[in-house]
Structure 1
Amino acid sequence: MQTLHETSASAHSAGPRHAAHCSTCSLRQYCMPEGLSATDTDKLQSVIVNARNIRRGETLFRIGDTFDALYAIRSGSLKTVVTSANGRDQVMGLHLGGDALGLEGFENGHHACRAVALEDSSVCVVPLSAFERACRETTAIQRRLLQLLSREVVRKSTQTMILGTLRADERVAALLLDISSRLTRRGYAGSEFNLRFTRDDMGSFLGITLETVSRTLSRFQAKGLLRTDGKLIHILDFEGLRAV
């Protein structure tokens, strides 16, 4: 599988790219810290090397790659994956527009997961050295980094709770409601969306089998909670889904 992560000598010259302008980005309010002055906004935008395009199925970075940049999803979606001791892939997260990627690299200077595009996507590339300098110079940017790290802690804690305490049908319902909520916060429709996760990805993320995912979605549809058409999910009864 092709990877877009490069060594420091060529990291910012390889792969399709185009200029990234925070001021015109539809996810600006979700992605950027609140309270930035025009000067600080220009400073933050100046550390973004470019917005890089990633085709569906391509890898942004791999386990063990040097952590030399942060990434913010400008459009599309990606999943993060780790590999267990027996060589089996485990999906750890679904990341949508405005989400940051690569934060786990702060631990030891190397990426601890693989990030793969679920659809044709675009990411803003933020070199680590430039971002750290911006954090030292601007309190709002430093605070935003802490918020992003905190969001990762909450996300992992929530996933642990889902895997440890919920039944299979509750896990599927929780995932669909979470995706709906995240899309709504970004200004998109929360009741009807394309689920970029495959059924296999859903099972891996939720700790259940592909067959269980398919049966659960079929039961939800039979109960009138939702309607599916391939990857398209149309939630018909939010209260019923929450009550699962």
Structure 2
Amino acid sequence: MANQDNFSIHCQNCSFSHLCLPVALNKTEIESLDDIIERKKPLHKHDKLVRPGDAFRSLYAVRSGSLKSFVNNQDGEEQIVGFHFPGDIIGFDALRESQHQSFTQALETAMVCELPYETLDKMAIQFHKLRHQLMSFMSAEIKQHHDMMMLLNKRTAEERLLYFLAHLSKRFEERGFSHRQFNLSMTRNEIGNYLGLTVETISRLLTRFQKEGIIEVEGKLISIMNFAALDNKLQSMTISSHCG
């Protein structure tokens, strides 16, 4: 029998279902998907959802809060490979080896929905829209990794951070949050780790962007004050890449 705490939590009343697997499903299909989903207990800051080597049994859809995925290099140093927000699906990197390849850890209190993959895969054969949505999520993740590789290999420190802020703004807007003002759940050190920059560089660039009137920074609160200037800088990045 379902946990009483789960009675009010369903795909039908989730404010992020338009970003998640149910986006293209009809009412009957959503109800079938809803039946297999297990709503996990809240993860608190620093709690780990999965670890490298954990057997792959499920995908996880972020319902609230945020998480980071990271791997450790040979020296035991952390390398962040992604940040996850509501509507994101976690666990695709485990498909090939049938085990998780990275740590995923909560950046703040977060809730996830667990989707048992074996059952989900059988459902995807029956519901073609669900299979298409799964493939779409995997394709988006591959593209995101490609974009990140290009960013780290070809871009200056300024371009990396500008892209990161613009991308965050877009992701928050997609989730119905403000794209102009948002709190960073990750630290500057974590942003630097992800972008291949030192925390000093992150702080220096944020100060410069603030002096230029592009953003305002108050602790972890970021306010984008001039989207035109941000877009112009990003456009010049695109032009430069085409010229190169």
TM-score w.r.t. the length of structure 2 is 0.90
Aligned equivalent of 1:144, options 112, 133, 140: 133
Inter-partner Cα distance in structure 1 for 2:12 and 2:41: 17
Matched, 1:87 2:76: yes
Q: Is the 8 A contact 1:52 1:125 kept in 2?
A: no
The residue aligned with 2:239 is none
Shift, 1:18, TM fit: 3.4
Partner of 2:144: 155
Tell me by how many angstroms 1:241 deviates: 2.1
Paired AA for residue 42 in structure 1 = E
Map 1:221-236; keep pairs closer than 5 Å.
221-236=210-225
Report if the CA contact (8 A) 1:174-1:242 is conserved: no
Distance 2:63 2:79 in 1: 25
The structure-2 alpha-carbon separation of the partners of 1:35 and 1:87, relative to structure 1 and needing over 3 Å to count, comes to closer
Kindly state the Cα deviation for residue 224 of structure 1 after the two structures are TM-superposed. Answer: 1.1
Q: For residue 36 of structure 1, what is the aligned residue in structure 2? A: 25
- 1:36 and 1:27 map into 2 onto residues whose CA distance is 14
Please list every run of at least 4 consecutive aligned residues from structure 1 whose deviation after the TM superposition is greater than 3 angstroms: 17-20
Equivalent residue, structure 1, for 2:236 = none
Query: What is the alpha-carbon root mean square deviation over aligned residues?
Result: 1.4
For 2:6, which of 9, 18, 38 is the aligned residue? Answer: 18
- Residue type at the aligned position of 2:207: S
Between the aligned partners of 1:242 and 1:51, the Cα distance in structure 2 is 39
The two structures have a TM-score, normalised by structure 1, of 0.90
Q: Which amino acid aligns with 2:156?
A: R
* 1:175-220 alpha-carbon deviations (Å, 9 max, x no partner): 0000000111111100000011110111110011111111110111
Percent identical pairs in the alignment equals 34
How many residues end up aligned between the 2 structures? 229
Change over 3 Å in CA distance of 1:52–1:144 after alignment to 2: farther
Residues 49 and 124 of structure 1 are in contact (CA less than 8 Å); yes or no, is this contact kept in structure 2? yes
Give 3-state SS (helix, strand or coil) of 1:29's partner: coil
Letter in 2 for 1:85: Q
2:196 counterpart residue number: 207
**Other-structure match for 2:95:** 106
In the TM superposition, what is the alpha-carbon distance from 1:33 to its structure 2 partner?
Answer: 4.1
Q: Deviations over 1:5-60 (max 9, x none)?
A: xxxxxxxx9xxx73530000001111134442221111111110224311111110
State which of 36, 54, 60 in structure 2 corresponds to 1:65. Answer: 54
Q: For structure 1, which segment, 47-56 or 214-223, has the greater mean C-alpha deviation from structure 2 after superposition? A: 47-56
Partner Cα separation in structure 1 for residue 33 and residue 228 of structure 2: 41
